[in-house]
Amino acid sequence: MRVSRLLVRATVGLLFVGHGTQKLFGWFGGGGPEETGKAFESLGMRPGRRHAVAAGTAEAAGGALFAVGLATPFAAAALSSVMITAIRKVHAPKGIWVSEGGFEYNAVLLAVLFGLSEVGPGPLSLDAALGTERRGLRWAFAELALGALGSAIVTAETGWGRGRPEGTEAAGTEVETPAPAVT
């Protein structure tokens, strides 16, 4: 199982890095922070650009750490947060099956993140090499709880997830508001 954990970590982690850099830099056919930000705005996540950068950073940094097996439960928590947010904001209303736009794929990724947090990143990891490996059922539940908390914080109605200001449209442009009557 030495190579298996490395293979799973590297595959999942590097794909997250790619997904994050789509948001951050527009690489691999991504929209970059501006286009991704517009998509986030349409989901009610405002300001969209800030959400795009936060999600892209969590995916790129979390994915890189997960791939090399460094700070594994914390890397998994960052990635779980993005997956939980994707389920809550996009996929849950569409059901489970990915063929219908559902959360099947996100759930698989959450299970992989949880599983590797429980069993640990393995001997072929930086955590093992540095003697900092954290693993076990408590760590797995902690990473999942931290991911859920992160998702809740970023999508809350205050702070990061604040809704659009009164007098603006979904795209964030100003709406003409009648001038108050002068008496």
* pLDDT tens figures, 121-132: 999 999 999 999
Q: What average pLDDT does this structure show over 103-120?
A: 98
Residue that the structure tokens 């429980």 belong to: 118
The domain limits of the chain are 2-158
Whole-number Å distance between alpha carbons of 148 and 34: 26
Q: What is the pLDDT of residues 6-22, one digit of tens each?
A: 999 999 999 999 999 99
Residue that the structure tokens 């890397």 belong to: 75
Lowest-confidence segment of 4-8, 93-97, 118-122, 167-171 by average pLDDT: 167-171
| Strand, coil or helix: 122 | coil
Task: Identify the pLDDT of residue 168.
Answer: 40
Whole-number Å distance between alpha carbons of 42 and 168: 13
- Indicate the pLDDT class of residue 157, thresholds 50, 70 and 90: low
Q: Of 97, 120, 117, nearest to 107 (Cα)?
A: 97
Q: What average pLDDT does this structure show over 150-154?
A: 95
Proportion of the chain above pLDDT 70, given as a percent: 85
Rounded (10°) angle between helices 48-68 and 2-25: 160
Q: Does position 169 have pLDDT exceeding 80, yes or no?
A: no
Task: Identify the pLDDT of residue 2.
Answer: 82
Mean pLDDT, all residues of the chain: 88
- Other beta carbons within 10 angstroms of residue 123's beta carbon come to 15
Residues 6+ apart with CB under 8 A from 80: 110, 113, 114, 143, 144, 146, 147, 148, 150
Q: What global pTM score does this model have?
A: 0.85
